């Protein structure tokens, strides 16, 4: 394994983030191919380096990037909507049936 970015501890710009992130992805691919990630709690040079790089990337993402939260409907909401549709109920009628 060839280590890179050993002299940095903080990522402070997008260009460096992109390079370190690509390095982390390459490490994961290499470790997977070599079987270094075969065990769930593996502790080896790959897992330690992936962890170090991952923490730096996560810190940069927390400080400088914004992400939209995934939006999804809960199974309960989907079930209520389907029930309303099949019974042709208005929201108020469904709420009364559900005692809410």
Query: Above 90 in pLDDT, residue 37?
Result: yes
Instruction: Identify the pLDDT of residue 98.
Output: 87
Output Rg (C-alpha) for the chain, integer angstroms: 23
Q: Do the Cβ atoms of 26 and 52 come closer than 8 Å? A: no
Query: Above 90 in pLDDT, residue 57?
Result: yes
Query: Above 90 in pLDDT, residue 70?
Result: no
> What's the whole-number mean pLDDT along residues 70-89?
90
| Average predicted confidence (pLDDT) for the chain | 93
Q: Do the Cβ atoms of 46 and 1 come closer than 8 Å? A: yes
Instruction: Identify the pLDDT of residue 5.
Output: 94
With the CA atoms of 24, 30, 35 and 38 taken in that order, what torsion angle do they form, in degrees rounded to the nearest 10? Answer: 30
73 band by pLDDT with thresholds 50, 70 and 90: confident
> What's the whole-number mean pLDDT along residues 46-57?
96
pTM over cut 0.85: no
Q: Do the Cβ atoms of 49 and 27 come closer than 8 Å? A: yes
pLDDT above 70: percentage of residues in the chain: 100
């Amino acid at each position: 394994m060839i280590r890179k970015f050993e002299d940095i501890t903080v990522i402070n710009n997008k260009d460096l983030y992109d390079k370190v992130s690509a390095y982390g992805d390459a490490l994961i691919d290499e470790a997977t191919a070599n079987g270094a990630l075969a065990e769930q709690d593996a502790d080896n040079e790959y897992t330690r380096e992936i962890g170090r790089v991952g923490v730096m990337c996560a810190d940069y993402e927390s400080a400088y990037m914004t992400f939209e939260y995934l939006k999804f409907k809960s199974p309960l909401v989907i079930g209520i909507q389907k029930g309303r549709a099949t019974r042709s109920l208005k929201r108020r009628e469904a709420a009364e049936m559900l005692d809410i």
